[in-house]
Structure 1
Amino acid sequence: MAASQTPPGQCPQCWEHAHNPRIHRKLKAREDCKPCLDHMNNGCPYLVPKTASKWW
């Protein structure tokens, strides 16, 4: 089951593809997901907000 919200510091697309099995269910055996391959080759297209520093 997918999480209700993407945690801070995580790419929304990466998180959804990693935690929602319905996305990859339509793929055939040994077929790659094109958005996942694009992410692996080109990186995340989103500006991912980092968690606030609690050092100070």
Structure 2
Amino acid sequence: MPKPPPPGECPQCWEHAHDKSIHEALKGAQCEPCLDHMNNGHPVLVPKKQSFWW
């Protein structure tokens, strides 16, 4: 299991990028969730902490 995604990253894309077993199981087939995010954007992003810099 990879580390949790940092702020501003998509949890699904982070997991797919760092856990190679997800794409190995597809045996060369296209990953539908990855294609969806590439074409339609990311539905959820890890929120960033609010900046207190003035």
**TM-based fold match above 0.5:** yes
Please tell me the TM-score bracket, short chain as reference.
0.7 to 0.9
Distance change (3 Å), C-alpha of 1:47 and 1:10: closer
- CA distance in 1: counterparts of 2:49 and 2:8, whole angstroms: 6
- How many residue pairs were aligned? 54
Alpha-carbon RMSD across the aligned residues, in angstroms, is 1.7
After TM superposition, what 4+ stretches of structure 1 lie above 4 angstroms from structure 2?
none
Corresponding position of 1:39: 37
Gaps of 5+ in 1: none
Gaps of 5+ in 2: none
- CA distance in 2: counterparts of 1:18 and 1:51, whole angstroms: 23
Corresponding position of 2:23: 24
Distance change (3 Å), C-alpha of 1:16 and 1:9: same
TM-score for the superposition, normalised by structure 1: 0.77
